[in-house]
A and B are shown apart, each in its own frame.
Chain A
Amino acid sequence: MRLELGIATVFGLRGLAVLALAGGTLAAGCSAGGGAPAGGPGTGGTSGVQPGAGAGNTPMITPLPGGGDVGTKVIHRLSNVEYGRTVHDLLGTNLNPATDFTLEEVALGFNTVADAMTMSPKQVSDYYDAAMVLADELFNDATRSAAFITCQPAAAGDTACAATLIKGFGLKAYRRPLEQWEVDDLVSRYTAALTAGEDHKGALKHVVGIMLSSPQFLYRMEIDADPLTQTPRALNGYELASRLSYLLWSSMPDTALLDAAAKNELSTPEGIAAQLQRMLAEPHSSALVSNFSSQWFGANHLTTHEVDTTLFPAWNDNLRVAMQNEMGAYFDEFLHGARPYSDFLSADVKFVDSGLAGLYGVNAPGSGQMRVEGATPQRPGFLGLAGFLTFTSRKNRTAPAVRAKWVLDSLMCSQLNPPDNLVIPPLTDPPPGQSLRETVLAHSTNPACAGCHKLMDPIGLGFENFDAIGKYRATYADGSAVDASGTMPDGTPFKNFTELAAIVKANPGLGRCAAQKLFVYGMGRTVTPSEAYLDQIVADWGKTSGTLADLLKQLVLSDVFRFRKGAAQ
Chain B
Amino acid sequence: MRNMVSRRAVLRGAGVALCLPWLESLAPRSAGAQAAAVPKRFIPIYFPGGAAEQWRDITVNGTEWTLSRNLEPLTPLKSKIQVVRNLGNYTWRTGLTKMSPAWYEYQTRQDTGTLMPNGAYTLPSHSRDPGALLTCVDGDELRRKAGLDVATAPYNSITADQVIAQALAAQPATKTALPSMQLGLLNGTGEFDGRNSNMSQTMSWADSNTPMGKELDPQKIFDKLVSAGAVAHDGSVDPNATAEAAKRRALKTSALDSLKTSATTLQGKLGKGDRDRLDEFLTGVRELEKTIGDGGNPVTSAACAPIAAPGSVTDPDQKAKVMNQLITMALQCDVTRVISYMLDNSRSDMAYVHVKERDFDTVGSPLTGATCGSYHGSQHGGLRNKTFASIVNWHTGIVADLATRLDAIPEGNGTLLDNSVLLYFSDCHHGDHAGFDIPCVLLGGGSGTLKTNQYVVLPENPVDSRQCRDLYFTLFNEYFQLGVKEFGSDERGIPNALLEGILA
Residues of A participating in the B interface, judged by any CB pair closer than 8 Å: 1-2, 72, 74-75, 77, 100, 102-108, 113, 115-125, 128-129, 181-182, 185-186, 189, 192-193, 195-198, 206, 209-210, 213-216, 218-219, 221, 223-224, 227-228, 304, 306, 394-395, 418, 420-428, 526, 566-569
The residue among B101, B152, B197 with the most chain A CB atoms within 10 A of its own CB is B152
A467 to B457, CA, bound (A): 47
Q: Give B251-266 as 1s and 0s: 1 = Cβ < 8 Å from A's Cβ atoms.
A: 1001100110111011
Q: Is B202 at the interface (CB under 8 A from chain A)?
A: yes
Q: Is B149 at the interface (CB under 8 A from chain A)?
A: yes
Q: State whether A75 touches B270 (Cβ < 8 A).
A: yes
Q: Is B60 at the interface (CB under 8 A from chain A)?
A: no
Q: State whether B351 touches A306 (Cβ < 8 A).
A: yes
Q: For A74, what are the chain B residues with a Cβ–Cβ distance below 8 Å?
A: 1-2, 273-274, 277
The 8 Å CB contact of A113, one of B118, B152, B281, B287, is B152
CB within 8 Å for A216 and B262 given contacts A124-B284, A124-B285: yes
A100 to B219, CA, bound (A): 12
A125 to B181, CA, bound (A): 13
Q: For A124, what are the chain B residues with a Cβ–Cβ distance below 8 Å?
A: 281, 283-285, 287-288
Which one of B27-35, B209-217, B408-416 is at the interface?
B209-217
A118 to B151, CA, bound (A): 14
Q: State whether A118 touches B154 (Cβ < 8 A).
A: yes
The 8 Å CB contact of A121, one of B3, B118, B259, B284, is B284
Q: State whether A185 touches B382 (Cβ < 8 A).
A: no
CB within 8 Å for A121 and B220 given contacts A185-B258, A421-B101: no
The 8 Å CB contact of A129, one of B107, B220, B287, is B220
Q: For B377, what are the chain A residues with a Cβ–Cβ distance below 8 Å?
A: 306, 394-395
Q: For B287, what are the chain A residues with a Cβ–Cβ distance below 8 Å?
A: 121, 124-125
Q: State whether A227 touches B262 (Cβ < 8 A).
A: no
Q: State whether B152 touches A121 (Cβ < 8 A).
A: no
| Closest-CB distance, B93 to chain A (whole angstroms) | 10
Q: For B317, what are the chain A residues with a Cβ–Cβ distance below 8 Å?
A: none
Q: Give B105-140 as 1s and 0s: 1 = Cβ < 8 Å from A's Cβ atoms.
A: 101000000000011010100000000000000000
The 8 Å CB contact of A120, one of B153, B284, B373, is B284
Q: State whether B197 touches A567 (Cβ < 8 A).
A: no
Q: For A214, what are the chain B residues with a Cβ–Cβ distance below 8 Å?
A: 258-259, 262
Residues of B in contact (CB 8 Å), total 79
Q: For B189, what are the chain A residues with a Cβ–Cβ distance below 8 Å?
A: 103, 304
| Closest-CB distance, A221 to chain B (whole angstroms) | 7
CB within 8 Å for A304 and B1 given contacts A74-B277, A214-B259: no
The 9 A-B residue pairs with the shortest CB-CB distance in the complex, in nearest-first order: A124-B284, A122-B213, A567-B271, A107-B152, A227-B271, A120-B213, A119-B280, A121-B287, A196-B250
Q: A189-B254, A216-B262 are in contact. List 17 more A-B contacts (CB 8 A).
A: A102-B201, A115-B2, A121-B206, A121-B210, A197-B243, A210-B255, A210-B258, A213-B259, A214-B258, A215-B262, A215-B281, A219-B277, A304-B190, A420-B99, A423-B107, A567-B272, A569-B272
| Closest-CB distance, B257 to chain A (whole angstroms) | 8
Q: For B102, what are the chain A residues with a Cβ–Cβ distance below 8 Å?
A: 420-421
Closest to A422 in B: B123
A228 to B259, CA, bound (A): 25
Closest to B213 in A: A122
Q: Is B68 at the interface (CB under 8 A from chain A)?
A: no
A286 to B365, CA, bound (A): 51
The residue among B119, B216, B271, B272 with the most chain A CB atoms within 10 A of its own CB is B271
The 8 Å CB contact of A185, one of B1, B250, B262, is B262
Closest to A420 in B: B99
Q: State whether A2 touches B281 (Cβ < 8 A).
A: no
A104 to B190, CA, bound (A): 11
| Closest-CB distance, B239 to chain A (whole angstroms) | 19
| Closest-CB distance, B368 to chain A (whole angstroms) | 14
A414 to B258, CA, bound (A): 47
| Closest-CB distance, A75 to chain B (whole angstroms) | 5
| Closest-CB distance, B441 to chain A (whole angstroms) | 24
| Closest-CB distance, A553 to chain B (whole angstroms) | 28
Q: State whether A567 touches B198 (Cβ < 8 A).
A: no
Closest to A128 in B: B288
Q: State whether B281 touches A216 (Cβ < 8 A).
A: no
The residue among A124, A221, A425, A427 with the most chain B CB atoms within 10 A of its own CB is A124
Q: For A569, what are the chain B residues with a Cβ–Cβ distance below 8 Å?
A: 3, 271-273
Q: For A213, what are the chain B residues with a Cβ–Cβ distance below 8 Å?
A: 255, 259
| Closest-CB distance, B490 to chain A (whole angstroms) | 19
CB within 8 Å for A125 and B284 given contacts A185-B261, A428-B382: yes
Q: State whether B2 touches A395 (Cβ < 8 A).
A: no
Q: For B190, what are the chain A residues with a Cβ–Cβ distance below 8 Å?
A: 304
Closest to B216 in A: A100
Q: For A420, what are the chain B residues with a Cβ–Cβ distance below 8 Å?
A: 99, 102, 123
A193 to B431, CA, bound (A): 56
CB within 8 Å for A116 and B285 given contacts A422-B123, A567-B272: no
Q: For B3, what are the chain A residues with a Cβ–Cβ distance below 8 Å?
A: 569
Q: State whether B373 touches A395 (Cβ < 8 A).
A: yes
Name 21 A/B residue pairs within 8 A (Cβ), A-sorted.
Answer: A2-B151, A105-B196, A116-B152, A120-B284, A121-B210, A121-B287, A122-B212, A122-B213, A123-B213, A124-B284, A125-B288, A195-B250, A197-B247, A214-B259, A223-B270, A306-B373, A420-B123, A421-B105, A424-B123, A425-B432, A428-B382
